[in-house]
Structure 1
């Protein structure tokens, strides 16, 4: 009976494969994606696009087999199974078969069928280091001449591998040849900035003619932007530099605003939409002028789906703009054993530090916060630290306060990240600092850190 059941299951699966393939033959704009997993663990394969968004969730049979017809834009995607993942290229009209062992996806992954040659090439290319020094101190410690020689040799070797491939479309080869050049340029750009960090030489500078390719570089090629991660990094770096230049020109420290202003001037709308969205979905919550930031974003983006997401975030952020009454919390447990509510502190300026014992950057700020507290001792300001540690870690929280001799009022939020006060302030990362006036109105929902000189400028300007 078991053998008969297995035969029946295999026949059904074969029929599914045949149907999927037959359907795909009628339309050459789809991808037949099928395969088998040995030592199956999970019942699902996920495919992510280049923006790390899930574009397909494929069911895996009890025997480890799967088959799906995909209608996706040609380009690179990430196949993810459990915690393992691999890059792959999907192209319309292909019939790609994949097989791997769930115990070691990377080493066992094999591609076959139409589209298999491209993906086998990608595997070969990613498995080599191309003679590039892996130790970054050694890599960036090289002289300019030696670094350029190393990268030129790597580029030549990559070109040779690509040229030797058969069964790969000329369209892919042409794009990949440009990608190899972008990889070279991207590494050369890193050499311009990274040695200052890895060789402890802050005055490091490359020669004026180090990278002539950038003088005529096209930052508006959407085909290459979608195809090449290195091209995308070069474009990102370009707009980051423009953003910094705008901030320096306008003599302000609102870099988020300067960056999105720079991106809003991009000529290619597809590239502009992606860069605007990728920045705004996180940065809009951290800019000191959310209304101006949103105005620039919404007037520049034409992607309605993206705009809906950013508009929803904006609506959540409006209540915590400067001048509005601060959200409140009631009855948080304090280190001293009392219950503390935000209203208890009215009548003073309140500088709030949102932190956790597990947060490295938070711990870096602790001694700086102690110095600020000492400097403003006796002034009309109260320093309040809110931990978002889990309630189960309350003893760990108390120990760190004691060990680091932390001052001010120390409280722990009632439900970690999910505490209403944390949600109301749309806090997605810590440390986060907030400044409130004596009437309970928000001065800044993203106040400077204690380690930043501009915090003293802000506090001194209030005549505390």
Structure 2
């Protein structure tokens, strides 16, 4: 039976703060496991710089681990899982500037036997059930036949989306074990998650709805054009609520708002912040329902964050001056300058982007042609897509390890296809660097079938003689990839 120290704390309203936190703990299990290979994965939200950062802490032979993480709020909701049970995550409250100790004991089936968190921040049910309940909401099905929406007005779709979210939230609201405070955060998070995944991209969802309703996989429907007013649903979210800083989906929602072509916000670039915000408010205030508040400062920070975290491009001197002039020595400025320092280190080792055209090469010769281009080098090929979350997470996780191979006899090659919108792909690869190929549908299908890949990300590793040494689906982790490559150098 699971036992766990209970908490009487409430979930405080987070405030923006540039800080660090130490996480320590102990992992124990009655099973004979390889004590040299256990690790803890910790996910921390960075809502100001605009990314979700994963840290890996290796567990020593006595079961202990310790790691320092950057945080951007005084209170954070941290996701945690271990390599012993990677699909069973905990939600843990993390306080900046302090030490959070997490002791986890597994039973012989690798289920949680005991969880002890100090200082206690959440109840045992909040920690163990929250992510499980979110998955139940995602998997919920009403039992009704799929409704045709592609041939109706956008307003009909928006009403449908609102009804669907309300029905799914009943799964959360009817749960008697999760605290009222956490339900409020999870409710905000799930609503954003659903709208980010389906409602923001109206055209994409209408095409999906058409295929699901008609089973026609060849033709495409005539879809009504939407204008900026479609996004008035943002008013329903009250995005000035600081609790969104604790919501995982807030980061993705901000990216959607900043990048959406219909909304049409200008890039911050080399503009001073007050001028940029004035233009943004002219466009956005009617959609979100307010003209002032912390939200706009967060959005401006996120605009710089896109450059830092997606393009991996340091701030210019002018941008630094504008940030210092606007936020002075405030917490947002501290966060952006800290992130900029990290990016500047990575940028030293980032290879320039090279886009290769291979469209005229026959399907069965694509990989052979790519490997031949890098004769005498190890070749690491990554099959990915812009819409693939695990693909992007793996690239982010691998950045610092990849930088260590700079100047060595290895070529990093990235393949995608038409499922990645061309314009978005061109944006994403700025932060990846290295060699890129935008394959035809037939070329992609041949490679996936030939190497018996069913999912992405998938990887191919060739030695210096051009022989295939390894093929892998799902990112195996930094240490494993580093070992695989080093064995061939």
- For normalisation by structure 2, the TM-score amounts to 0.47
The structure whose Rg is larger is 1
* Higher RCO (CA 8 Å, separation ≥ 6 residues): 2
